[in-house]
C-alpha cells in the first residue's frame, strides 16, 4: 500500500508552497500534517457508523491562515526551545547567549522565526508514517550550534505517536514540543470547559505575570491546579486563585511523576464518550487552556476560535530551564542525541 500523494495546502506570502500529508491505519484516526512547522492540521477520529469521523484538533484552514496574525502555534512543533526564556538570554559554558525576543523582552517558542514558521523537508513517507527534517543553522534566532531536527509521526491503531530527535555540532540548548490543541467535542464546537482533565503531577511551577517561573515546584494541593483526579476545566479556568486570574486560565508547567515513557494526562469529554490519554518521556507538561484565543482565528471548519476553544497539553522541558537548570536539563552537546516521545492514545 502506497502513501497518498501530498496535497497543496496553499502559498505563503513569501511564495513558499505548503503541502499536506495524510496518515492513517486500519480502524484508526486520519492525521493530516503540514510540512510548514511539522504541523498537525487535523485529526479525525473514526465514528461508529464508518463516516468521516470527528476532527478533534484545532487548525488553520489554509496556508494564508497559518501566516496571518494572531500567532497561536496551532498544531506546530515549536523550538528551538519551547515555552519562555527570560530576558531573551542565558549563559552557556561561561558566555552569555543573546536571543531574538518575541514576547516583550522574553523569547517564546524559539523566537519570532521559530521552527513553526519553517518548511520542513520530507525524509520518508508511508501510509501510516511521515518523517520530516529541519536544519537550524548556527546563530538561528541567537541559538548556538547547527541543529538537525527530525519529527516522525506514526498512526498505529487508535494511537498517534510523535518522536522528536535533534543533534548539534556545538553546545546549545534544546527543548522541542508539540503545540496541538485538543477539543474532543469536535474542532470549532465551542469551549473545552465541559472536558475533564487529569494530570499525573503533584507539583507545578508558579509563574509571574509574564508566565515565567517564580521559583521551584510548588504543591498542587489546595489550588485549582490540583488535577490529580478528574476535574472539570471550566471550574478550574475560572477560579479566583491568583495564579489562574493572572494567566486568564491555566498556563502552567506541571512537574510530572516518574521518569521514562509514562501516562501524563487524561482528557475526557463525557457528552461524546471520547477520551485521550497522553504519554510522554518528558519531565514537564505545559497545560494551556487557550486563554489568548479571542475569535480572531477561523478554524478548519469555518468557525472562529474563542477563548478556551482548545486545550494544549505540551510535553517539554520546563520553561526558562536555560536560566534555571535545576528545573530540567536543557543542554545538548555534540555526540549526544536529544529525544522526546509523545503518544496520544484515543478511546471512545
Residues taking part in catalysis? 179, 314
Q: Which residues contact 269 (CB under 8 A, 6 or more apart)?
A: 184, 185, 194, 195, 196, 275
For residue 304, the cross-strand partners are 298
For residue 275, the cross-strand partners are 268, 347
Q: 101-137 in b/e burial notation, b at 16+ Cβ within 10 A?
A: bbeeebbbbbbeebbbbbbbeeeebeebbbbbbbebe
Cell of 242: 491568583
The closest alpha carbon to 142, from 197, 204, 87, 210, belongs to: 87
In whole angstroms, what is the distance from residue 245 CA to residue 343 CA? 31
- Cβ–Cβ < 8 Å for 194, 234: yes
Chain-centre distance of CA 209, in angstroms?
21
In whole angstroms, what is the distance from residue 259 CA to residue 332 CA? 19
For residue 33, the cross-strand partners are 21, 40
In terms of Cβ atoms closer than 10 Å to its own Cβ (0-12, 13-18, 19+), residue 158 is middle
Count of other CB atoms within 10 angstroms of residue 68: 14
- Cβ–Cβ < 8 Å for 162, 342: yes
Amino acid at each position: 500500500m502506497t502513501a497518498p500523494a501530498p496535497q497543496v495546502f496553499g502559498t505563503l506570502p513569501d511564495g513558499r508552497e505548503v503541502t499536506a500529508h495524510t496518515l492513517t491505519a486500519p480502524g484508526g484516526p486520519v492525521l493530516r500534517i503540514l510540512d510548514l512547522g511539522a504541523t498537525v492540521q487535523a485529526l479525525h477520529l473514526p465514528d461508529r457508523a464508518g463516516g468521516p469521523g470527528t476532527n478533534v484538533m484545532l487548525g488553520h484552514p489554509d496556508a494564508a491562515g497559518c501566516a496571518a496574525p494572531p500567532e497561536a502555534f496551532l498544531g506546530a512543533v515549536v523550538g528551538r526551545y519551547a515555552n519562555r526564556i527570560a530576558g531573551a538570554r542565558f549563559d552557556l559554558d561561561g558566555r552569555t547567549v543573546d536571543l531574538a525576543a518575541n514576547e516583550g523582552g522574553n523569547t517564546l517558542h524559539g523566537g519570532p522565526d521559530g521552527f513553526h514558521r519553517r518548511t520542513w523537508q520530507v525524509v520518508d513517507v508511508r501510509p501510516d508514517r511521515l518523517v520530516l527534517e529541519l536544519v537550524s543553522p548556527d546563530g538561528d534566532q541567537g541559538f548556538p550550534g547547527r541543529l538537525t531536527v527530525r519529527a516522525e509521526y506514526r498512526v498505529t491503531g487508535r494511537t498517534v505517536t510523535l518522536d522528536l530527535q535533534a543533534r548539534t555540532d556545538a553546545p546549545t540548548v534544546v527543548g522541542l514540543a508539540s503545540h496541538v490543541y485538543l477539543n474532543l467535542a469536535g474542532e470549532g464546537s465551542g469551549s473545552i470547559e465541559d472536558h475533564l482533565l487529569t494530570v499525573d503531577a503533584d507539583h507545578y511551577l508558579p509563574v509571574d505575570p509574564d508566565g515565567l517561573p517564580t521559583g521551584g515546584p510548588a504543591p498542587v494541593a489546595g489550588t485549582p491546579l490540583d488535577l490529580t483526579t478528574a476535574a472539570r476545566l471550566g471550574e478550574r479556568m475560572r477560579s479566583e486563585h491568583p495564579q489562574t486570574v493572572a494567566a486568564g486560565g491555566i498556563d502552567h508547567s506541571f512537574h510530572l511523576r516518574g521518569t521514562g515513557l509514562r501516562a501524563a494526562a487524561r482528557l475526557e469529554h463525557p457528552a461524546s464518550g471520547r477520551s485521550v490519554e497522553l504519554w510522554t518521556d518528558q519531565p514537564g507538561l505545559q497545560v494551556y487552556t487557550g486563554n489568548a484565543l479571542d475569535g480572531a482565528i477561523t478554524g478548519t471548519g469555518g468557525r472562529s476560535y474563542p477563548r478556551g476553544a482548545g486545550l494544549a497539553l505540551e510535553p517539554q522541558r520546563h520553561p526558562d530551564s536555560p536560566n534555571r537548570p535545576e528545573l530540567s536539563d536543557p543542554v545538548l552537546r555534540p555526540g549526544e542525541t536529544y529525544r522526546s516521545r509523545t503518544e496520544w492514545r484515543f478511546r471512545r
